[in-house]
Amino acid sequence: MARILTVDDEPVILNILNKILISNGYDVSPAKNGEEAMHLLEKETFDLLISDINMEPVNGMEVLRFAREKSPETQVIMLTAFGTVSTAVEAMKCGAYDYITKPFKLDELQITVQRALEYGNVLAENKGLKERLMATNRLDNIVSESDGMKQVCEMIERVAPTDTTVLIYGESGTGKELVARALHQYSNRKKEEFIAVNCAALPEPLLESEMFGHVKGAFTGATSNKEGLFESAHGGTLFLDEIGAMPLAIQSKLLRVLQDMQIRRVGGTQNVAVDVRLIAASNERLESLIEQGRFREDLFYRLSVITIDIPPLRERVTDILPLVQHFLKRRARPDQPTISIDHEAEIILERHPWPGNVRELENVIQHALAFAENNTITRSALPPKLVESVGEMPAGESGSHAAASSQAAKFKGKSLKAFLRSKEKEYLSNVMNNLNGDKEKAAQALDISVATLYRKLSDKS
């Protein structure tokens, strides 16, 4: 039942209005003045507000503005005395759906109310559709056919909107940076910077000044003040890639920053507050680095509030062909024909163990596109080394979906019926040989008629 809030400071009008609406089956809440209406709007939700314009001390325009702000889904119809139509038009510019002049005609009121409610429903439906569309398209740049990747995507959707520190594990090329970017993209920080720093790429002093900045004269070559990445990422996300390679001295400094969310530039004396979400990635387990004394345990606990494990590609074979299609689509040009891939090439790709994971697959597809003939990627378009390595691999060894599909190919055209028939023949001839070709004895032993035995022996299929 649609819920309608009515407000008019003339009790007679409010009364008539309510009677009509209630008799039409609506759930009506009456308010004696603008203040009371605002109070109800704050507490409850309504599908429609019908408000008089001329009221004291809070007039209908104020109620309208309040309703638009507090409850944009509520449709609004203004009631106006004859002669104040210009105010009603003004109200429509402020978001009212329509207006009715007093004294109102019964059918005019009914139709306008009905239309306003339908309009509200359409808007709500549209919003729902958009949200659902957003939900299905959200992580559309991350291929996730396998259960493993589906779980990763679920985690991204869940933790992205929070400010939690996330630690991403995954072998080289599994998509750690892609996941980190998605975490930023679907967070409330998306309008601010996503800055990535590779902790393995810079020697200690450089990494320190890169991350925290430095002041002029802090060291030889520091000719001016420099802002660090923490400051640049303020309001956004800082991605610390290969965190396991971070020198211990910088780990301590990072820990302090995480504790007070303040940084101090190298050589500086002042602390600067920073608001940064941290995402870290590693292809080595930090626990084993802790055991080796190469990583601070306290920092590990700070970083690993949420851990996302990206499985290697060999453990999610069902992602391989969808990834191939993803890369083919990504490279497609509108003016060029689409490129497809044949079954044999697909089997080869499914059987390869992909030590370089998704990045290796992406490179292989790039190679294959350059060598594709007749717009098709066949075995000969794939890198010869890859084809050779797969060829040498005995079927069944990979223990995967790929192995299963090549095993299936082995049984192609071999139905259960054909198998049973051949086994039957084998048994019949065995029995016949043992009984020196005596058909009667054989039929007896097999518990079938001699005629059936004859038919079976003469069956050439």
Ligand X SMILES: Nc1ncnc2c1ncn2[C@@H]1O[C@H](COP(=O)(O)OP(=O)(O)OP(=O)(O)O)[C@@H](O)[C@H]1O
- Listed in sequence order, the residues at least 6 apart from 321 whose beta carbon sits closer than 8 Å to its beta carbon are 346, 349, 350
Task: Identify which of residues 50 and 199 has a Cβ nearer to Mg ion in the complex.
Answer: 199
Q: Is 240 left (phi over 0), alpha (psi -120 to 50) or beta?
A: beta
Question: What is the DSSP secondary structure assignment for residue 24, as one 8-state letter?
Answer: T
Number of Cβ within a 10 Å radius of residue 281: 25
Shortest distance, position 187 Cβ to ligand X, whole Å: 17
Question: CB of residue 332 vs Mg ion: minimum separation in angstroms?
Answer: 25
Name the CA dihedral angle for 15, 16, 17, 20, rounded to a multiple of 10 degrees. Answer: 120
Which is nearer to ligand X, 127 or 329 (by Cβ)? Answer: 329
Residue 86 or 137 having the CB closest to ligand X: 137
Pick the closer one to ligand X by CB: 40 or 306. 306
Least separation in angstroms between residue 323's CB and ligand X is 6
Residue 381 Cβ, how far from ligand X at the closest point, in Å?
20
Contact 196, 239 (CB under 8 A): yes
Q: Which is nearer to ligand X, 277 or 326 (CB)?
A: 326
- Continuous segment of H or E residues that includes residue 185: helix 176-185
Residue nearest Mg ion, Cβ-based: 177
- The site partner of 360 among ligand X, Mg ion, none (C-beta below 5 to 8 Å per kind) is none
- Interface with Mg ion (CB under 5 A): 177
Q: To the nearest whole angstrom, how small is the minimum distance from the Cβ of residue 363 to ligand X?
A: 9
263 binds, among Mg ion, ligand X, none (CB under 5 to 8 A by kind): none
Pick 60 or 170: Cβ nearer ligand X:
170
Q: What is the DSSP secondary structure assignment for residue 373, as one 8-state letter? A: B
- Contact of residue 236 among ligand X, Mg ion, none (CB under 5-8 Å per partner type): none
For residue 326, the partner it binds in Mg ion, ligand X, none, with Cβ less than 5 to 8 A by kind, is: ligand X
Binds 178, which of ligand X, Mg ion, none (CB < 5 to 8 A, cut-off by type)? ligand X
Question: Number of H helices and number of E strands within the chain?
Answer: 20, 16
Residue with the two structure tokens 């720093």? 197
The residues of the shown chain that bind ligand X, judged by CB under 6 A, are: 142-143, 149, 170, 172-178, 283, 323, 326, 358-359, 362
Minimum CB distance to ligand X smaller for 88 or for 323: 323
* DSSP tag of 359: H
Q: Which does 283 bind (CB under 5 to 8 A by kind): Mg ion, ligand X, none?
A: ligand X
Smallest gap, in angstroms, from Cβ of residue 197 to Mg ion? 11
**Least Å from the CB of residue 137 to ligand X:** 14
Sheet order of strands, 75-81 included = 27-31, 3-7, 48-52, 75-81, 98-102
Torsion region of 286: left, alpha or beta (phi above 0 gives left; psi -120 to 50 gives alpha): alpha
Q: Which tokens belong to 160?
A: 């992205």
